[in-house]
Structure 1
Amino acid sequence: MIIYVDTRQKKGKHNIKHSQLEALGHTLISKKLDCADYCSDNSNVVIDTKQDMDELYLDLFSEHARFAREIRLAQRQNKKLIILVEDDKIKSLSDVKKWKSKRGKANGTILFDKMMKLKYAYDVDYRFCSKENAGLEILKLLVNYSEPI
Structure 2
Amino acid sequence: MIIVDSREKKWQHIEKYFQQHGILYQIQKLDIADYMLEGQDKFVIDRKQNLDELCSNLCTKDSGRFWREVRRSREQKVKMVILCEHGGKIKSIKDVAEWKSTYSRVTGRQLAAEIYRVHIAYGVEFLFCDKRSTGRRIVELLEDTAWIEKR
Normalised TM-score (structure 1): 0.90
After superposition, where does 1:120-139 map in structure 2 within 5 Å? 120-139=120-139
Q: CA deviation at 1:23?
A: 2.1
Matched, 1:51 2:29: no
2: distance between equivalents of 1:20 and 1:48?
A: 17
Q: CA deviation at 1:64?
A: 2.3
Which residue of 1 is the match for residue 34 of structure 2?
A: 37
Superposition RMSD in Å: 1.4
After superposition, where does 1:1-149 map in structure 2 within 5 Å? 2-10=1-9, 13-43=10-40, 44-62=42-60, 63-89=62-88, 90-144=90-144, 146=146
1:21-60 residue CA offsets vs partner (Å, 9 max, x unmatched): 2222221111110110100125432011011000000001
Q: CA deviation at 1:16?
A: 1.2
Q: Among the aligned pairs, what percent are the same residue?
A: 36
Q: CA deviation at 1:145?
A: 5.6
2: distance between equivalents of 1:24 and 1:96?
A: 31
Flag structure 2 segments of 5+ consecutive residues without an equivalent.
none
1:65-116 residue CA offsets vs partner (Å, 9 max, x unmatched): 2211100111122211000000112111110100110214121111111111
How many residue pairs were aligned? 144
Q: CA deviation at 1:146?
A: 4.8
Q: CA deviation at 1:19?
A: 1.4
**After TM superposition, which residue ranges in structure 1, 4 or more long, deviate above 6 angstroms?**
none
